[in-house]
Structure 1
Amino acid sequence: MTDPETDPIYHEALKWLVRMKDDKANAQDRHAFTAWLAASPANVAAFERASRLWDRFDIVKPEYDRMRASGGLSRRTLMLGGFAILAVGSGGYVLSRPGFFADHATDVAERRTLQLADGSVVELGSYSALSVQFNDRERRIVLHRGEAFFQVAPDQGRPFIVEAGPGATQALGTAFDIKLADDAVTVSVTEHAVAVALDAGRTVAVDEGWQVSYSANGIGAPKAVDGEQVTAWRKDRIVFEDVPLRRVLRELERYRRGRILLMDDSIGDMPVTAIFETRQAEQALRTIAETLSIRVLNPGGFVAVVYRR
């Protein structure tokens, strides 16, 4: 096998991966990428390897996003720095950012139930990761990626706080779900209430049967939510009701190995209403393609490219 560090095709794949992850990627970029993939099976294989590298990078992705937003990272510096660091030696890690080595993580389509030292129970969803930081003053969880459902044991002397993205959720004797997807966090309460605070200081109370979403741009108003729909993933189902296609594809990506690339922005807002089995993500993609009259190019099964027919 060609050494990735000297393989020109692999380096080209890394460049394409960075370009396609860039918010500034346009239709011309996407069409050029599709043509590059179709040009050779070696290109597909190289992009699969590059994507697997990116998957290992996901836990520190929030820090990467902050650096890119502040101008600290460009495509060039990422290529010369970030990926090079991650790929040192035989793909070993040399990063030491806080939380990089999560205490608990799940693989694709895996769920895991955790019993914490205080008696609280956490159910960790597919491709998720968190760290536990308990001390005498507080019980703090850091959700690095994915989704988790919390059933909190009472302890009046130590608040239970979950950090996710730019905010933190404090339990008020409660059960709740937190989902970190891309740059947005959604907190849904199924029992009692929580207090959600952003770094900027604004705090929003969320009661049972309600949810709130936030990002670095701010926090929205609470809205009523169906608790069964929110926690369907705990029964290996995901439920979409008039959800834009781009969000559906991002969710399905958590339940299959590989990337799903939406190549046509014009179809990203198409609404999807469906219930899918999380262990049948490929079938879900086929159903979406048939229902919405779109095409899914799935060379090798690792990279799925979705575009208009």
Structure 2
Amino acid sequence: MQAAWVYLDRASVLRDGFELSVPAPSAAALLPPPRPINRRRFLWGGSAVAASLVGLVTVANHLRNVDRIETALGEVRRVPLNDGSIAAVNTSTRLSIEIGERVRNVRIDRGEAWFQVAKDRARPFVVAAGEVRVRAVGTAFSVQRRDDGADVQVTEGVVEVWTVGRESERKRVSAGARTFASAKSGPETPVQASVDIDRSLAWREGQLVLQGDSLGEAAAQFNRYNLLKIEVSANLQGERIVGRFRTNEPEAFAQAVSAMTSAHVERRGDLIVLTRS
């Protein structure tokens, strides 16, 4: 804009009859003289340019309000949001968060996150996981995206769950309850499972709590957090395990399983193989 005003001042001087000191005529001097600049038209054009610049600044500011979070394998991150909410992001998760003036939007592309939502009735907090939507105002809940829908668990308050295209079939899920929302058929009837919810969200403290889980299921959970994978033989898959373990200690888990089941433990590079002795 400073350059524009300098150009306007120069045009005004030329129009008022002043001559500028210039070198000897060149080939460029043989070109027709420039038409006088209409100051009003130039100002209008400058206003349009300025308006477009303001638009660009607005878009840039809007984009700055979108936070993208991605966790690596085995990483669990606790992230404070600029509205006062908190997000605990589980391993191998990718999501984006946009805090707007009328709504707070979260999109989970993959993985799982737990949200402690700051109360703000004027701005609902909406999580999108594929075709599934979860709406809250001030509450705490987790959403795990799956290929065919999403698991929703509520630890505080109440949320509304629905699937795009089936909004009339939305379900209310209260604290201590969970539901699975199918991308095609909508949310199932919520069930009370406060103990199971606390256990399944132990990843927030870097732990896995197993309470009668099969060995195959337990190995799959450990494999979500580690490059060192656990493979369980078919004749051990159904063994039930009880215990509390660190998510980043698959070898300690394997040794504990060996002590409980007399399984044989073999390390093969980045693989722990559990077989029945």
Do they fold alike, i.e. is TM over 0.5?
yes
**1:105-184 aligned within 5 A:** 105-180=70-145
Aligned AA (2:80): Q
Aligned partner of residue 190 in structure 1, secondary structure: strand
Q: After TM superposition, what 4+ stretches of structure 1 lie above 6 angstroms from structure 2?
A: none
> Counterpart in 2 of 1:211?
178
Tell me the CA shift for residue 154 of structure 1: 2.3
* CA distance in structure 1 between the aligned counterparts of 2:188 and 2:215, rounded to whole angstroms: 22
User: Residues 292, 147 of structure 1: CA spacing in aligned structure 2 closer, same or farther, 3 A cutoff?
Assistant: farther
> CA contact under 8 A between 2:70 and 2:95: conserved in structure 1?
yes
Bigger relative contact order, structure 1 or 2, given CA contacts below 8 A and separation 6+? 1
Kindly state the Cα deviation for residue 187 of structure 1 after the two structures are TM-superposed: 1.6
Give how far 1:239 is off.
1.1
Match of 1:222 in 2: 190
Asked if the contact 1:285/1:296 (under 8 Å) is kept, the reply is: yes
Q: Distance in 1 between matches of 2:240 and 2:164?
A: 33
Quote the offset at 1:122 in angstroms. Answer: 0.7
Q: For the residues of structure 2 that align with 1:274 and 1:120, how far apart are their CA atoms?
A: 32
Alpha-carbon distance, 1:305 to partner: 4.2
1:126 is paired with a residue of what secondary structure? Answer: coil
Partner AA of 2:220 in structure 1: R
Deviations 1:116-163 (A, max 9, x none): 222211111233222113434421112233332211122323221112
> Residue deviations 1:183-211, cap 9 Å, x none?
56322111111111123523221101111
The match for 2:222 among 237, 247, 252 is: 252
Report the count of equivalent residues. 206
Between the aligned partners of 1:149 and 1:290, the Cα distance in structure 2 is 34
Picking from 241, 250, 263, the partner of 1:272 is 241
Distance (Å, rounded) in 2 between the aligned partners of 1:165 and 1:290? 42
More helix by share: 1
Q: Which residue of 2 aligns with 1:287?
A: 256
TM-score by length of 1: 0.57
150-159 or 225-234: bigger deviation: 225-234
Normalising by structure 2, we get a TM-score of 0.63
Q: Which amino acid aligns with 2:113?
A: A
1:233 to 203, 214, 229: 203
Kept after mapping to 2: 8 A contact 1:191/1:209: yes
Q: Check the 8 A contact 2:160/2:170 in 1, yes or no.
A: yes
Q: Counterparts of 1:214 and 1:274 in 2: how far apart (Å)?
A: 29
* SS of equivalent to 2:112: strand
1:234-289: CA deviations, max 9, x gaps? 2222212222333222211122114444553x644443322112232221133234
Ranges in structure 2 where 5+ consecutive residues have no aligned partner: 1-66
Alignment gaps of 5+ in structure 1: 1-101
Q: How far apart are residue 308 of structure 1 and its match?
A: 4.8
Once the two structures are TM-superposed, the CA of residue 217 in structure 1 deviates from its matched residue by 6.3
Q: Aligned equivalents of 1:166 and 1:306: distance in 2?
A: 38
Deviations 1:164-201 (A, max 9, x none): 24412111420112234665632211111111112352
Q: Distance in 2 between matches of 1:271 and 1:203?
A: 36
Greater Cα shift, 290-299 or 243-252: 290-299
Aligned twin of 2:5: none
Q: Could you say which structure has the higher strand fraction?
A: 2
RMSD between superposed Cα atoms in Å: 2.8
Residues 180 and 248 of structure 1: is their aligned pair in 2 closer, same or farther, counting only changes over 3 Å? farther
